[in-house]
Amino acid sequence: MKHLLDLTLDEFSDICVNADRPGYLAKQVFNWIYQKNVVEFHSMTNVSKADRQWLESRYCVLRSRVDRFQQATDGTVKLLLGWDPPAEDSLPQIHDQSDLRQTETVMIPAAKRRTACVSSQVGCPVGCRFCASGIGGLEGNLSAGQIVEQVLRLKMDEEVDRITNVVFMGMGEPLSNENAVTRAIRMLNASWGMGIGARHITVSTVGLPKAIRRFAKFDLPVTLALSLHAPNDELRRSLIPWADYSTVDELLSACQKWFEVSGREITLEYLLLRGVNDRVEHARQLARIASNLRSSVNLIRYNEVKGLPYERPSTVDVREFQRILRRHGVRATIRASRGRDIAAACGQLRYEQRSKGA
């Protein structure tokens, strides 16, 4: 069975025509899927019985299974999805799939927004010391269809009803799976697809200068967020293994190029770890960085991960960190912590499930 969500409307239309199916079939089917959240071909009532049988014999809409569903008291919804790939899938073949090939996707509610936080890979190659996603390393890339399916899964849930924004801040490093990520963005943005505005889509990267410069040429005006997490090379290298490959200055130069080419300012993401990177001198160093770049700073309070030695900073320290940045003219916001009671931080639910041997 081929994954229908891997295809664009034009691609699927060509397949239908070449198979002597009606030229309008592709548009009918995609309307059922993306607009009406109907994923079973037999329920597509304006499609002929013969065409439904043809579709059922060749395609599936959903490839994932929902291994766990959780909803937090603040309305945050989290899905742990398990994937059963066909033989030709790019993910490595393994003997026991019971606790592997799982990814997480989260819906984060706000007053007028419903934001889908999606994964781009199974596991993560970066291995940030504080993050649950990279424990166990990278197990494979997701296809564009698997990325889109995460958003569709959330949109189908009766507790969600709609998705207005998408952030690539789940498991994985998006720019190390760039082809699938950019293809998925086009599908999410397309009028025949999810219809989500490009400016409502954010790609978060730990940063490799070459990848950022290349991504700056992407023709849709998405937002780029740099996971900085430390204001100097020594501290950043102690937290992020990939920081060995580039300095903070090299990253900032690439981000400047991003702004020059795309015209879009960058968001600097800064995860605050108690007693590690949340001191006054760190705030002052970060202020100097942000002042020299067309950017804003998003401060994130750490969600503890069992077994890792990092702690959540106090509210007083977070507010003081923000105050120092603002005093230096930096636009700095504190991200609201959502879903703490359901392990909503990146990779936590998958890590907890594996730890329990579930």
Does the pLDDT of residue 339 top 60, yes or no? Answer: no
> Tens digits of per-residue pLDDT, 142-185?
999 999 999 999 999 887 879 999 999 999 999 999 999 999 99
Question: Are residues 272 and 220 located together in one domain of the fold?
Answer: yes
Choose one of 42, 61, 80: the last residue of a domain.
61
Does the pLDDT of residue 90 top 50, yes or no? Answer: no
> In this predicted model, which residue has the larger pLDDT, 350 or 145?
145
> Tens digits of per-residue pLDDT, 96-127?
444 458 999 999 998 889 999 999 999 999 99
To which H or E segment does residue 348 belong? helix 348-355
Does the pLDDT of residue 347 top 60, yes or no? Answer: no
Question: Are residues 336 and 233 located together in one domain of the fold?
Answer: yes
Angle (nearest 5°) at CA 208 between 196 and 354 = 70
Question: Are residues 303 and 197 located together in one domain of the fold?
Answer: yes
What is the DSSP secondary-structure string of 98-119? TTSSEEEEEEEE-SS-EEEE--
Q: Residue 341 has what pLDDT? A: 57
Q: Residue 87 has what pLDDT? A: 46
Question: Are residues 190 and 333 located together in one domain of the fold?
Answer: yes
Catalytic residues: 104, 346
Question: pLDDT category, 94, cuts 50, 70, 90?
Answer: very low
Question: Are residues 68 and 17 located together in one domain of the fold?
Answer: no
Question: Are residues 46 and 140 located together in one domain of the fold?
Answer: no
Question: Are residues 279 and 319 located together in one domain of the fold?
Answer: yes
Question: Are residues 7 and 104 located together in one domain of the fold?
Answer: no
Question: What CATH number is associated with residue 50?
Answer: 1.10.150.530
Choose one of 9, 42, 61: the last residue of a domain.
61
Choose one of 19, 39, 61: the last residue of a domain.
61
Average pLDDT of the chain to the nearest whole number: 90
Could you tell me the residue range of the domain that residue 336 belongs to? 63-355
Regarding beta strands 114-117 and 121-123, do their DSSP bridges make them parallel or antiparallel, or are they unpaired? unpaired
Q: Residue 161 has what pLDDT? A: 78
Output the six-digit token pair for 279: 């001191």
Question: Are residues 78 and 102 located together in one domain of the fold?
Answer: yes
Q: How many domains does the chain have?
A: 2
Question: Are residues 48 and 75 located together in one domain of the fold?
Answer: no
Question: pLDDT category, 349, cuts 50, 70, 90?
Answer: low
Q: What are phi and psi of 48, to 5 degrees?
A: -65, 155
Handedness of CA 8, 14, 20, 25 (dihedral sign): positive
Question: Are residues 69 and 56 located together in one domain of the fold?
Answer: no
Question: What CATH number is associated with residue 82?
Answer: 3.20.20.70
Cα separation, 201 vs 164, whole angstroms: 9
Question: Are residues 273 and 300 located together in one domain of the fold?
Answer: yes
> Tens digits of per-residue pLDDT, 285-312?
999 999 999 999 999 999 998 889 999 9
* 245 DSSP assignment: G
